[in-house]
Amino acid sequence: MGHTGTLDPFATGVLICCINQATRLARFFLHGGKRYEAVMRLGSTTDTQDATGRIVATAPLPDLDESSLASVFRGLEGPQWQHPPVFAALKHQGTPLYKLARRGKPVQKPPRQVTISTLRILQVALPDVRFEVACSAGTYVRTLCHDIGQTLGCGGHLAELRRTESSGFGLDQAVTLDRLGELDPWQVLIPMAEALKGMPSVTADDQMIAHMEQGRPLKPEWFKERDPMGSPADTLMIVDRANTLRALIEWSPEDGTYVYGCVFK
């Protein structure tokens, strides 16, 4: 089993786990978009940028209303550069940043480009602001809270965090560990072909599947009908008549044809 991305220790919500052969699909979920519901606490800054850290600064709140806050939130939507926090699971020379920070040797990684698709206020009960954010993979919501606090001049940190969506999977499809222990796992597992939402597919007959299981070269004529405009999909699913995923094939511009990504049995 392998998980596709991490959650901060105090956070809750969706975490995609790949089991057995599905671990080979992890790369399709690692970089998918995320959606969170969070609570930002204004007026105090912590060394970890969240509620688990030590308060390093406090400041009185300015005269705020929901309209002025919404203006700040709108200004943070779109592509931007974000500095990862020094307390993070990212590694520096093989050591997680949070371990270095706890030793008093914090390392600031270079900024990374992220995208905030939407940033919406849900409730204002100062000093707390509950909000929803849809963002690209690699975005730190606690850094977002820190940056909003700096913009407002009073500081801020992340007080609560719940991931409500990851790569298209929402809380309605999630199962808690306690609940999972009460169920037959096969009742909640999502088939691989269904998990790859939106990926184009080709339904193969028995002869084509046997051909692929033997690792024989793929025949270009199998896929021409899917590509009348000369723009092949980067990746295609090959499924059988029962919609079971049997292979992933990838377009190779160098060869001008599809080549094997992985084959499942």
Two structure tokens written together for 81: 């550069």
pLDDT for res 226: 57
What pLDDT score does 227 carry? Answer: 53
Residue 82, phi then psi, degrees to nearest 5: -130, 130
Q: Is 48 left (phi over 0), alpha (psi -120 to 50) or beta?
A: alpha
Q: Choose among 141, 143, 113, 136: nearest CA to 34.
A: 136
Give the ranges where the chain is alpha helix by DSSP (H).
Answer: 27-30, 66-75, 97-102, 141-152, 177-180, 192-195, 206-213
Label residue 225 exposed, middle or buried (CB < 10 Å: 0-12, 13-18, 19+).
Answer: exposed
pLDDT attached to residue 224: 67
Q: Can you give the length of the chain in residues?
A: 265
pLDDT recorded at residue 74:
93
Q: Using alpha carbons, select from 179, 178, 124, 180 the residue that is nearest to residue 148.
A: 124
List residues with catalytic annotation. Answer: 8
Query: For the chain, what are the domain ranges?
Result: 2-170, 192-263
Residues 6+ apart with CB under 8 A from 163: 7, 11, 12, 13, 14, 15, 34, 35, 36
- Give dist(CA 149, CA 128) in Å, integer: 11
Residues paired with residue 17 on neighbouring β-strands, in sequence order: 3
CATH topology of domain 2-170: Pseudouridine synthase (3.30.2350)
Distance CA 42, CA 265 (A): 53
Gyration radius of the chain's alpha carbons: 23
Q: Given this structure, which CATH class describes domain 192-263? A: mainly beta
What are the structure tokens assigned to 65, written together?
Answer: 């209303």
Quickly count: other Cβ atoms within 10 Å of residue 12's Cβ: 16
Q: What is the pLDDT of residue 229?
A: 52
pLDDT tens over the chain, length 265 residues: 888 878 888 899 999 999 999 999 999 998 889 999 999 999 999 999 999 999 999 999 999 888 999 999 999 999 999 998 888 888 888 888 888 888 888 888 899 999 999 999 999 999 999 999 999 999 999 999 999 999 999 999 999 999 999 999 999 999 998 888 888 878 889 999 999 988 989 899 999 999 988 888 888 778 765 555 556 788 999 999 999 999 999 988 887 788 999 999 8
Alpha carbon of residue 4 to chain centroid: 8
Beta 12-13 vs 156-166: how paired, if at all?
Answer: parallel
